[in-house]
Homo-oligomer: A and B are copies of this chain.
Amino acid sequence: MTSMTAPHTSPTLGLRERKKIKTREAIRTAMYTLVEEQGYDATTIEQIAERAEVSPSTVFRYFPTKEDIVLTDEYDPIIMEELRTRPADEPWPDSLRHVMHRAITVGMKDPHAVSRLRTRLMVEVPAVRSRMMESMSETGRMLCQAIGERTGRDPESLEVRVYAMSIVGGLMETSMYWAEQDHEPDFDALVDRALNVIEHGLPPENH
């Protein structure tokens, strides 16, 4: 944690900002370990606050809801940024594939236990799943924006919005599937199969 203090970031961030990052991280890890110990529902904000050595008020100051504590979502900015760097003449599905794979490798960089816990909670706890879906729909709006920039279409049109949300829906289901299978195949491989379905529909039966 503290070793993260790279030579670049330290001089610009004042003590205040550094402390904020630290408490934020403390709250998160407190929640993670408590959830591993007792489960999600049994873990109260009070316990989290106690273990993170802050007051309950502070927990709510850092995270609007309990579910938000376990859901990172730095994905959206990554996706947008990567999308913009793709060559403009690349076919859209190819760009999407590239970007998704990038987002996955970046998003999975934190300890495996955390990624696993997060997706497990997504499957098991309805509230977490709901919150996840909410953030997915925000991702959808971003995708609309990107598709608009890329293809010159109106990002607010029904067609673009439906297209984006069907992609998001499909990928959401892919993460659920991955979690249900105990993260058995590579997420990358699953995403590839999912994008194939989204792009071309159900493949013909092969038996």
Contacts and interface: CB of A to CB of B under 8 A. Distances in A.
Copies of chain A in the complex: 2
A169 B170 CA distance: 8
Contacts of A38: none
Give the secondary structure class of A's interface: helix
Interface stretch (A39-47, A68-76, A77-85, A192-200): A192-200
Contacts of A161: 173, 177
A202 B153 contact: yes
A60 interface: no
Interface stretch (A10-18, A22-30, A112-120, A124-132): A124-132
Interface string A152-168: 11000011111111111
A202 B160 contact: yes
A129 B151 CA distance: 29
A91 to B, nearest CB: 11
A45 to B, nearest CB: 19
A206 to B, nearest CB: 10
Contacts of A34: none
